[in-house]
Structure 1
Amino acid sequence: MGGCTALQPKPRATVYDFGPGPVATVASTRMAPLPTLVLADTEASAALDSTAVLYRLAYSDAQQLRPYALARWSMTPAQLLRQRLREQLGQRRAVLNAAQGVVADKPAMVLHLELDEFSQLFETAQQSSGLVRLRATLGQGGQGSQRLVAQRSFIVQRPAASADAEGGVRALAAATDAVIAEIAQWLQQVEGAGGMP
């Protein structure tokens, strides 16, 4: 009987992303109402440079990041965040990649993101939340030298509906959408305060 278990296929990891996003486009030929934004690559700490879905047990050892054995992201968290950010901000403004080679009419703002935390945080064995912590830096100018316009840190948590990988993924997706909404509002405040020339 023991030999039969060796023939059993190993369970496969479930692969997650943030969902399909908008499924219909708004037809329009006019320019986006907000200034053009250049989106630089999103940087992340070494611990987040993988597709593992990570969690922390704050009630026993908050310093240790642990991966779920059978759950993976479709891309690294930094790539998922950048994709979702471009998708959301692109609804109201032109969003360009830093290496795209397209030049805007005016010197565009360049948004740099550094992702510091992207994990499911368990306060107790049954209660957890998706935690996203990042720093956004807004610059202006060429690739070689940019003038610092503004910088801000963002920390967002959203409760998980279940104490497992699926609950963590949904909570992290909700936290990501919330932090993107905060970034969008911050960008408009900076632009309204005279950050744009």
Structure 2
Amino acid sequence: MKKTILITIAAAAVLAGCASKGPQPTAFDFGPLGPPQQAAGTAALPAIVVADVSGPASLDSQRMFYRLMYADARQSRPYAYNTWAATPLQLMSQRLKSRIAQSGVKVVSTTDSAGGLPLLRLEADEFSQNFDSATQSSASITLRASVFRNHKLVDQRTFTRTARAPSADAAGGASALAEGTDAIAADILSWLASLPQQ
């Protein structure tokens, strides 16, 4: 009886050891903010209220998705062992607000906003890692930005960026999506600077 118990314990230990050598879950974010991105005219921008990015339900989850453009571009597939540290909507919201603030513009939240300040609303239409082949992928991001002043639409523009992933995996996708978000932040800053300030 004792021998059977010892064999069972030894087998369980072996199985536990095998399981620990398998793929380990990994959570990704956008990494450090990095140096400021220059956008002409941002010094003249007033304080601005920046709302959180909104978007489809698939972006309000921490799961990481990708598309095999060469197999079935209509199917979004989840990574088995990789997730985002927060939802893509949260990651984009934080990154865009940080980039705008980093440029010298005062960023105010919707809960603390004062009357008369312009309001920037952002809606994500696309945020995906697309594989053109088994060894090559890129990030594709599309954001629609709207500026309101005194509840009236001032202007609206759609921004799209693609960025080549440095590797054909979740880590490469996270890196490319962070790069694309930073590029859109610079585009938004240039656009905001071009709008009439009154």
TM-score where L is the length of structure 1: 0.83
What is the count of residue pairs matched by the alignment? 179
**Paired residue type of 1:49:** D
State the secondary structure of the residue aligned to 1:168.
helix
State the secondary structure of the residue aligned to 1:136.
strand
Residues 176 and 5 from structure 1, CA distance in 2 versus in 1: closer, same or farther, beyond 3 angstroms?
A: same
Distance in 2, matches of 1:33 and 1:126, equals 45
State the secondary structure of the residue aligned to 1:44.
coil
Conserved? CA contact 1:33–1:92, under 8 Å: no
State the secondary structure of the residue aligned to 2:93.
helix
Query: Are residues 1:76 and 2:87 paired?
Result: yes
Structure holding more strand per residue:
1
- Map 1:32-111 to 2 at 5 A: 33-90=44-101, 91-101=103-113, 103=114, 107-111=116-120
Identity of aligned residues (%): 42
Once the two structures are TM-superposed, the CA of residue 40 in structure 1 deviates from its matched residue by 1.1
Stretches of 4+ aligned residues off by more than 6 angstroms = none
- Map 1:1-197 to 2 at 5 A: 4-5=14-15, 8-9=19-20, 11-22=23-34, 33-90=44-101, 91-101=103-113, 103=114, 107-141=116-150, 146-189=151-194, 191=195, 194=196, 196-197=197-198
**Paired residue type of 1:186:** W
Q: Deviations over 1:11-66 (max 9, x none)?
A: 4421111112259xxxxxxxx64211101121010111101121111111111111
**Paired residue type of 2:15:** T
**Paired residue type of 1:171:** A
Distance in 1, matches of 2:143 and 2:181, equals 10
State the secondary structure of the residue aligned to 1:54.
strand
- Which has the greater radius of gyration? 2
State the secondary structure of the residue aligned to 2:46.
strand
Structure holding more helix per residue:
2
User: Looking at both structures, which has the greater relative contact order when contacts are Cα pairs under 8 Å and sequence separation is at least 6?
Assistant: 2
Conserved? CA contact 2:70–2:131, under 8 Å: yes
Gaps of 5+ in 1: 24-31
CA-based RMSD? 2.1
Q: Deviations over 1:114-133 (max 9, x none)?
A: 11211111111111101111
Distance in 2, matches of 1:59 and 1:33, equals 46
Gaps of 5+ in 2: 1-9, 36-42
